[in-house]
Amino acid sequence: MERVIVLLFLIIFGISFSPAFAQENQSLSTLITAQNIKYQDCTKVFNIDNVSLFYLTISSINANRFTIDEIQSHYGYILFTAVNKKFLATITNVNTNQAMLKITPADNNYYFQPGIYLNIFKYIDLNLKNKPESMTFTQNQADN
């Protein structure tokens, strides 16, 4: 019950500060009700490199409490389950300073809740300045 309340709170909080929703003024029921989604709405270009976007996407999926089924870092995709439906998050390089995230249903059925991809995009937008930094480990750190 607490997870449902927290999820609804996060959705409502995310909607109130989203510029996309400020323009369209969508209600909560619109976000959690399954509907036909345009393919173009499932893609977004971010002003960040593709490696950082990959890690932010993993973090966003985890923060939204979706289940990560498979991660393939070499090809830049993440397979995850949200609302009993599998999705594929694909990260591609646009140029050195931009990367594109595409979140598509694994079964190519674009009838799902738009809050799934909008919450992921919003989380990434909010955390762009907190992008992960590379760390080097010494042998002693690796042993611990």
Q: Report whether pLDDT(110) > 60.
A: yes
Q: What is the pLDDT of residues 54-87, one digit of tens each?
A: 999 999 999 999 999 999 988 889 999 999 999 9
Distance CA 44, CA 101 (A): 5
134: confidence class by pLDDT, cuts 50, 70, 90: low
Rounded to two decimals, what is the model's pTM? 0.72
- What is the spatial distance between Cα 41 and Cα 24, in angstroms, rounded to a whole number? 14
Determine the topology of domain 2-130 in CATH.
Answer: TATA-Binding Protein (3.30.310)
Contact 56, 131 (CB under 8 A): yes
Residues ≥6 apart with Cβ < 8 Å to 121:
44, 101
Fill in the DSSP letter of residue 65: T
pLDDT on residue 32: 78
> Which pair of structure tokens corresponds to residue 112?
């799902």
Strands 98-105 and 43-46: antiparallel
